[in-house]
Structure 1
Amino acid sequence: MKKVLVTGANGQLGQCLQNIAPLYKDLDFLFQSSKDLDITNSVAVGLLFEKEQFNYCINCAAYTNVEQAEKTPEIAFKVNAEGVRALALFSKKYNVSLIHISTDYVFDGEKKEPYTVDDIPNPINEYGKSKLLGEKYIQEIMEDYLIIRTSWLYSEFGKNFYTSIMKKAKEKQILEVTNTELGYPTNALNLGRFITQTVNINKFKTGIYHFTDQIEMTWYDFARQIIKAEKLTNEVVLPINKTTYFAVRPKNSRIN
């Protein structure tokens, strides 16, 4: 039986993995929230790796508050870069295959076509910069890894675009949603299935991968799709051709 560590287990991807885990009888999962395991505490990480002797580590732990990262970048870099570095170092030491979740925000959004894994990253906000540095640490330290970039992740868990739109729509709020950014919304459950299937069949080829649901839309389009799919009524969704973000976002977040 393969032992699998999942960090950041209380995030939306981590919770999706918890739902999927019982389907895989040959995988022994240990789910660790940020309270259970702070990946920036290298001593705690090292002790856990030494004790459990994992085969895989799925790193879902991340600092994802894009707005706050712009104001206090040191927090984002501590988790998304230095914490990832600790995981990479101990994964290498104890011969653990590392699966790390990254983001479309490593790109600047200036390309007219969807980004491929061969495109050169150029993040334009602190969150993206911190995630890219985490990627670089893994590539410098490890030989056995998967870096999976995804985009516009959503699920029924936690705070994300899907749950926010649902809440506001049910409260009959008027929704003003930007139509200036283009991307591929990705169901966290689909990503979770891909990861667990990869681990289960042991098809593990080192490198960077892009995983999205490949349906192109703006945030405005996405909001309308949510309203339609959930059969919500009496809602008003208005497109706006501007953003009110403090942190700049890529206009093109499509990754192939």
Structure 2
Amino acid sequence: MRNIVLLAPNGQVGFELARSLVGLGKLHCLSRADIDFSNINMLLARIAQLQPDIIVNAAAWTAVDKAETEQDGAYLLNATLPAALATLAQQSNAWLVHYSSDYVYPGTGSNAWQEHDTTAPLSVYGQTKLAGDSAIQQHCAKYLIFRTSWVYAARGNNFMRTMLKLAQSREALQVVSDQIGAPTPARLIANITALSLQQALQRGEALSGVYHLAPAGETSWYGFAEAIFTLARQHGVMLTLAPEKLSAIGTADYPTAAKRPANSRLCLTKIQQTFNLQMPDWQSQLALTFIEWRNNTQVDNTVICP
């Protein structure tokens, strides 16, 4: 039986991966509660003890704005750790699965980015993610790097949950409308990972590469928020926010420490053709994730309505 080592199983993506990967082998989960990820030598030794056939790295520094001032921490998790995992995977003849970001691209224009396009990160976060990608490609023969965008889930801290919380307590909201991308649920990332990895195990390292993983279609953060609130009202979630009080604003009106890409569109041709997949649209994926959030909220006896 294959040994699969999953790093960070308690995060948004890691939680879903722990459910999706169980059919591929014996799953060993290592969380930050189990071991200090900043002690890379100790972490590598622990992984090596498990004799991995597959290493899935769901650990990452995701605080985009904090990365501007806490660069060492961001580089450690997003660049140094993936480089070390790549070396270990190569030594163990194991597959390495890693998750990257639309932030590696410059965010210009309106065409969907292709995997071979020139990278030019606008932020420290994007620079650290690109450094991790490059290190894996340099040090490891068997790898799958999935670049994704606008990740959210029914659990954890993310845009969908934040919007729902704000709409229950505020009478008006302003959301950026000039950044375009595809909201990607963690569940879709995990499911596509499992399907792709299964084929990679069968077909070999010829499938190694960088792939874009996101739903089909595009929207703005404003459009994403509008769709979230529409679903909430359809499912009887009481919101303080009235529909007409959701306003669209420009990026310039919402300054942040890290610069965001205006164009986060990702071309899905490569992943769909290579693995014979058809990516679903972002709207249907949002509906599934929203229902999961609503059901979890009810089960947990958390008050939905203020």
TM-score over 0.5 for the pair: yes
**For 1:185 and 1:116, how far apart are their aligned partners in 2?**
18
**For 2:172 and 2:31, how far apart are their aligned partners in 1?**
35
Which residue number in structure 1 is paired with residue 164 of structure 2?
Answer: 166
Which residue number in structure 2 is paired with residue 251 of structure 1?
Answer: 262
Which residue number in structure 1 is paired with residue 148 of structure 2?
Answer: 150
Which residue number in structure 1 is paired with residue 229 of structure 2?
Answer: 227
Number of aligned residue pairs: give it.
254
**For 1:20 and 1:145, how far apart are their aligned partners in 2?**
18
Is the contact made by 1:39 and 1:84 (CA closer than 8 Å) also made in structure 2?
Answer: no
Which residue number in structure 2 is paired with residue 211 of structure 1?
Answer: 213
Distance 1:170 1:234, change over 3 A: closer
Shift of 1:173: 4.5
Is the contact made by 2:6 and 2:18 (CA closer than 8 Å) also made in structure 1?
Answer: no
**For 1:131 and 1:111, how far apart are their aligned partners in 2?**
21
Is the contact made by 2:5 and 2:47 (CA closer than 8 Å) also made in structure 1?
Answer: no
Is the contact made by 1:109 and 1:250 (CA closer than 8 Å) also made in structure 2?
Answer: yes
2:247 counterpart of 1:238 = yes
What secondary structure does 1:229 align onto? helix
The letter of the residue matching 1:106 is V
Tell me the alpha carbon deviations over residues 21-61 of structure 1, each in whole angstroms, 9 at most, x when there is no partner: 45x2x421112222324444232222123211111111110
Which residue number in structure 2 is paired with residue 55 of structure 1?
Answer: 53
**For 2:21 and 2:197, how far apart are their aligned partners in 1?**
11
| Counterpart among 105, 108, 119 of residue 106 in structure 2 | 108
Please say which of residues 179-188 and 46-55 is displaced more in the overlay: 46-55
Which residue number in structure 1 is paired with residue 84 of structure 2?
Answer: 86
**For 2:174 and 2:16, how far apart are their aligned partners in 1?**
29
Is the contact made by 2:171 and 2:240 (CA closer than 8 Å) also made in structure 1?
Answer: no
Q: Percent identity?
A: 30
What secondary structure does 2:257 align onto? coil
**For 2:208 and 2:37, how far apart are their aligned partners in 1?**
22
Bigger helix fraction = 2
The letter of the residue matching 2:2 is K
Which residue number in structure 1 is paired with residue 63 of structure 2?
Answer: 65
Is the contact made by 2:82 and 2:135 (CA closer than 8 Å) also made in structure 1?
Answer: yes
Structure 1: 5+ residue runs without aligned partners? none
**For 1:167 and 1:127, how far apart are their aligned partners in 2?**
26
Which residue number in structure 2 is paired with residue 183 of structure 1?
Answer: 181
State the superposition RMSD in angstroms. 1.6
The letter of the residue matching 2:16 is C
Bigger strand fraction = 1
The letter of the residue matching 1:165 is M
**For 1:46 and 1:75, how far apart are their aligned partners in 2?**
18
Shift of 1:83: 1.1
Is the contact made by 1:3 and 1:55 (CA closer than 8 Å) also made in structure 2?
Answer: yes
Which residue number in structure 1 is paired with residue 286 of structure 2?
Answer: none
Shift of 1:170: 2.2
The letter of the residue matching 1:240 is I
What secondary structure does 1:98 align onto? strand
Shift of 1:117: 0.5
Tell me the alpha carbon deviations over residues 144-184 of structure 1, each in whole angstroms, 9 at most, x when there is no partner: 10111000011011101111111112224522111121111
What secondary structure does 2:65 align onto? helix
Is the contact made by 1:34 and 1:61 (CA closer than 8 Å) also made in structure 2?
Answer: no
